[in-house]
């Protein structure tokens, strides 16, 4: 709950934000770009988002723990900037989210669910937010909702069954590392429908 209080406090106009932390908008945006590019298998966009994250170092005045967390995010960005295939990209995006979670968990920050999205993309975003927040209950709830989501019209049923099977396994993950591995596995199933034919 502390996280929500923190976010509410930061959302108020008088709350000082800039300079207190490595600025949130500088990393949340490229992370979402990386995640969404992974789902559609756009490796060039994954590389660009990774490079943007790698370039964003700590702002002055941070604690040693926060600097270490940001270095972890930069390393995850560097990995994203060099992924050489879709499965690699899925793993790198999940590793990024795990690196983000290190700081959020230490500070008790709960990352809120994005407002946009419909159908099966909403529970997938809930899993992402839970992964970023180290929120086990949110993760299980998101996985249950995704597994129960209606198959999109005209989708390939085999690809949907594969997704549901991976989500069922991922939903049992109860550590940051196993949730990240589960997210990578699920993202590969998303790619089966959302990414164009793999070149070569």
The residues that touch ligand HEC, with contacts defined as CB under 6 A, are: 6-7, 10, 17, 21-22, 24, 27-28, 31, 39, 53, 66, 69-70, 73, 96, 100, 103-104, 107, 109, 111-112, 117-121, 124, 132, 152, 155-156, 159-160, 163, 186, 189-190, 192-194
Directed axis angle between helix 176-194 and helix 86-107, to 10°? 140
Least Cα distance to 168 among 193, 138, 144, 198 occurs for 144
Beta pairing partners, 18: 21
Query: Are 183 and 127 a contacting pair, CB within 8 Å?
Result: yes
Q: Which is nearer to ligand HEC, 6 or 144 (CB)?
A: 6
Beta pairing partners, 21: 18
Could you tell me the smallest distance in angstroms from the CB atom of residue 169 to ligand HEC?
Answer: 13
Alpha helices (H) in 81-135, listed in sequence order:
86-107, 121-133
Could you tell me the smallest distance in angstroms from the CB atom of residue 44 to ligand HEC?
Answer: 19
Could you tell me the smallest distance in angstroms from the CB atom of residue 199 to ligand HEC?
Answer: 20
Q: Which is nearer to ligand HEC, 28 or 88 (CB)?
A: 28
- What is the Cβ-side half-sphere exposure of residue 178, based on CA atoms within 13 angstroms? 11
Q: Which is nearer to ligand HEC, 85 or 152 (CB)?
A: 152
């Amino acid at each position: 709950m502390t996280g929500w209080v923190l976010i509410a406090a930061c959302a108020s106009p008088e709350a000082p934000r800039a300079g207190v932390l490595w600025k949130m908008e500088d990393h949340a945006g490229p992370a979402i770009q990386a995640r969404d590019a992974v789902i559609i298998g756009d490796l060039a966009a994954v590389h660009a988002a990774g490079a943007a994250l790698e370039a964003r170092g700590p702002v002055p005045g941070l604690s040693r723990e926060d600097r270490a967390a940001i270095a972890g995010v930069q390393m995850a960005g560097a990995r994203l900037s060099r992924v050489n295939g879709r499965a690699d990209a899925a793993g790198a995006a999940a590793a990024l989210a795990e690196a983000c979670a290190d700081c959020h968990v230490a500070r008790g920050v709960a990352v809120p669910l994005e407002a946009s999205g419909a159908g099966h993309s909403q529970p997938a975003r809930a899993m992402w937010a839970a992964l970023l927040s180290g929120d086990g209950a949110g993760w299980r709830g998101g996985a249950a909702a995704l597994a129960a989501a209606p198959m999109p019209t005209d989708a390939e049923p085999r690809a949907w069954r594969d997704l549901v099977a991976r989500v069922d396994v991922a939903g049992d993950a109860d550590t940051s590392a196993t949730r990240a591995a589960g997210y990578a596995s699920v993202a590969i199933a998303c790619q089966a429908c959302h990414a164009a034919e793999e070149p070569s």
